[in-house]
Amino acid sequence: MTTLDNKQTEAGLQRKLGLVGVTSLGIGSIIGTGIFTVLGDAVPLAGPAALVSFVLAAATCAFSALSYAELAAAIPVSGSAYSYAKAALGPLVAFLVGWNLCLEYGLSVGAVASSWSQYFHALLKSWFGVELPAALTATPAQGGWLDLPAALIVLLCTLLLVKGVKETSWFNTAMVILKIGVLVLFIGIAAFAFDPANMTPFAPHGVSGISAAAALLFFCYIGFDTVSTASEEVKDPQRTLPKAILASLVISTVLFCAVALAALGAMPAEQMAGNEALLSRIIDRVTGIGWGYWLLTVGAVIALTSVVLTVLYGQTRILFAMSRDGMLPKAFGTVDERRGTPVVNTLFVGILIALLAAFVPLDVIVELTTIGTLTAFAAVNVAVLVLRRTRPEMERPFRAPGAPVTPVLGLLMCLYLAISLPSVTWIRFVVWGAIGVAVYWFFSRRNATV
């Protein structure tokens, strides 16, 4: 296991992140595509009861966040759920968890980049009167050639990550402050158009609609686990990581619920379906404040840039941890001595995800990301239960309160949301898992050092 030296780990990563920087990393990962785009897909499923769906998704994350906080403090190494599964459940399960984390992080970056492209295009049209060719702003499944802006933002964030984690942290923290300000502005403006009549009927599709929306809105919350991928680059990780994980989730949840309430009060639920750049359209069409629309669109572009950057960061650190253990080719685990970053790994991931963002539609990405995340969260809850029994002597600077009840609840809620996903998503997920088993059997099993 890597040492906890305050400057540099044995692997060459440098400890440069404090509490503010790493909490911003979590918030930067969470607040993005979900609240700016997926809200418009969830409301038609649940109606105004999407507020309950938000709370249900947040509760699922809260139980899992407590488990993450315990393991991040006890096992402060890169790799997130992969490293925790390795310690508790063995190399095969750990590899499959890591494999699904690659699905979660890689696809979610693609989804965020696709949403960024929508808002960026809206900004160009409203600000400069420039409309990009449809062939360059839509995937082949959407009738275009490729989503070029989505690919370009991924590549730009890749270059920033190559430069170094400290520079990345400064840039991300600035963007987090700006996007929180934008969401507060939206709440304030939309409040003037709040109509209680828009809240009825509250749950037109019943419990099934609330559950389906919660499974989709769960996508909003994924990202707090990015904090744990930074373990080897955080100062005093045993104390800092639990605080950052829980703080980023609480702050984001409060903002999500406030934004959702303001949006539902300002626009009837039935008008939200199919609305791209939804929050900007609410400001524009419902309140008629042109400058608010422009500012919110700028804020969305900033917010989504932050998410692309931070989630891309998380993906590279998971591959780094798996490569260090021999689960994946060694090139992913090499660190540039001057920059203190895994440059080859970062460039590979950035180029691959840029291609994904350019050619794969958003709806496919969101559902696959959700099921990959639920699998990782379930594994972390199980790891807490197993390690509490098999390694009771392990030092735990933070202990999940209410265990074993809270990890069990976290596990059950992950399973509940997972079964709410469409069957086609499960089929794609099983295919991805089968490919992972093949990779493990023919490569990882023979080269692993754990």
What 3 state SS string does 146-174 have?
CEHHHHHHHHHHHHHHHHCHHHHHHHHHH
Alpha-carbon gap, residue 365 to 113, rounded angstroms: 11
**Residue 4, in any domain of the structure:** no
Query: Which residues, at least 6 apart from 352, have a Cβ–Cβ distance to it below 8 Å?
Result: 106
Closest CA to 297 of 309, 282, 308: 282
Closest CA to 92 of 448, 368, 405: 448
The confidence score (pLDDT) of residue 6 equals 44
The confidence score (pLDDT) of residue 366 equals 63
Angle between helices 165-191 and 19-30 (to 10 degrees): 60
List the single range of 217-226, 253-262, 409-418, 429-438 with lowest mean pLDDT.
217-226
- 272: its two tokens: 């939200």
**Residue 341, in any domain of the structure:** yes
**Residue 7, in any domain of the structure:** no
The confidence score (pLDDT) of residue 157 equals 95
* Mean pLDDT across 231-244: 88
Domain total in the chain: 1
Q: Is the distance from CB of 384 to CB of 399 less than 8 angstroms?
A: no
**Residue 365, in any domain of the structure:** yes
The confidence score (pLDDT) of residue 2 equals 39
Q: Is the distance from CB of 84 to CB of 385 less than 8 angstroms?
A: no
**Residue 13, in any domain of the structure:** no
Alpha-carbon gap, residue 153 to 297, rounded angstroms: 16
Query: Which residues, at least 6 apart from 449, have a Cβ–Cβ distance to it below 8 Å?
Result: 325, 326
> Which domain covers residue 177, as residue numbers?
19-447
In percent, the amount of the chain with pLDDT more than 70 equals 92
**Residue 209, in any domain of the structure:** yes
Alpha-carbon gap, residue 370 to 300, rounded angstroms: 22
Residue 394 pLDDT greater than 60, yes or no = yes
The confidence score (pLDDT) of residue 365 equals 61
Query: Which residues, at least 6 apart from 274, have a Cβ–Cβ distance to it below 8 Å?
Result: 40
**Residue 6, in any domain of the structure:** no
The confidence score (pLDDT) of residue 149 equals 93
CATH number of the domain residue 333 falls in: 1.20.1740.10
Q: What is the pTM of this model?
A: 0.84
**Residue 14, in any domain of the structure:** no
Give the DSSP letter of residue 232: G
